[in-house]
Every structure is written in structure tokens, then in C-alpha cells.
Amino acid sequence: MKIFVKVFASLRKKYPNITDLNPLEMEIDKGTTLAQLIARLNFNQEEVKIILVNGLRASVEDIINEEGSIISFFPAVGGG
């Protein structure tokens, strides 16, 4: 199943070329959880603070169900 991964802010230290305009296309197995995807990307779970699947909040145990899903990973961010 094909998905698109976007990483932001300090998570780009590992993947400087993955941006909103240039997401990473990945093949994953059906039933893959976000935790597994995080591990596959060589992140540890503590550094990923916010996960959005197609713009909606998700947690590490969630399974990626939909073909073509956009998964966005953020570290702790804030401002105002």
C-alpha cells in the first residue's frame, strides 16, 4: 500500500529533503501501525510529538488503513 510521509521542523535534521511540497512516497504493508512506521523511519517515539493522518490527529497505536494516506510527523512545536 502506498502512503506519503511528511516530516517537519527538527525532524528534518534526519530527512532534510522531505517537505510538504516533496513528501516521501513509501510502500507499507496493510496493518502497519504508526509506531512501526516511526521505527522504520529511524525516529524514536519521544521525538515525534504530534502525528496527523490526512490532517487528523492520530496516535502511535493507530493502524494506517487508507491507500494514499498523508502522514505528517511533528516534534514539539509552539508559538503564537
Partner 1 sequence: MEFGYMNKWLKVNLTLKEFKDFSISEDILRKYVGGKGIAVHLLWKYVSKLEEKGINVKDFDALSSENMLIFATGPVTGTRSPNSGRHHVMALKSPLTGSIGSGNSGGRWGAKLKFAGYDGIVVIGKTEKPVYISIIDGSVEIHDATELWGKNSIETSNHLRNKHDKKRAGVSCIGPAGENLVPMAVIINEEHRAVGRTGLGAVMASKNLKAIIVEGNSKPNIAKPDEFNLKVKEHVEKLKENGVTGEGLPTYGTAVLVNIINQNGMFPTKNWQTGVNPDAEKISGETLTEEYLIDKHPCWGCVVACGRKTKVDKGNYKITYTEGPEYESIWALGGTTTINNMAAVIKANHYCDIFGMDPISVGSSIAAAMELNEKGMIPEEDLQGIDLRFGNADAVIELTWMTAFRQGLGFWIGEGSRKMCQHYGSPDLSMSVKGLEMPAYDPRGAKGIGLNYATGNRGGCHVTGYTIAAEILGDVDRFTTEGKAELTKIFQDFTSLVNSSVNCLFLTFALGLDEYAEMIGPITGWDVNSDELLTIGERITNLERMIINKFGITGKDDTLPKRLLEEKMPEGPSKGQTVDLDTMKEEYYELRGWVDGIPSEEKIIELGLK
Which residues of the shown chain bind partner 1 in the complex (CB under 8 A)?
Answer: 6, 8-10, 12, 19-21, 49-50, 52, 54-57, 72, 74-80
Beta-strand ranges (E) seen in the chain are 2-7, 24-27, 50-53, 56-58, 70-74
What is the rounded distance in angstroms from the CA atom of residue 67 to the CA atom of residue 30?
A: 9
Nearest distance, CB of residue 35 and partner 1, angstroms: 17
Nearest distance, CB of residue 44 and partner 1, angstroms: 13
Nearer to partner 1, 29 or 46 (CB): 46
Nearest distance, CB of residue 9 and partner 1, angstroms: 5
By C-alpha distance, which of 8, 19, 3, 11 is closest to 45? 11
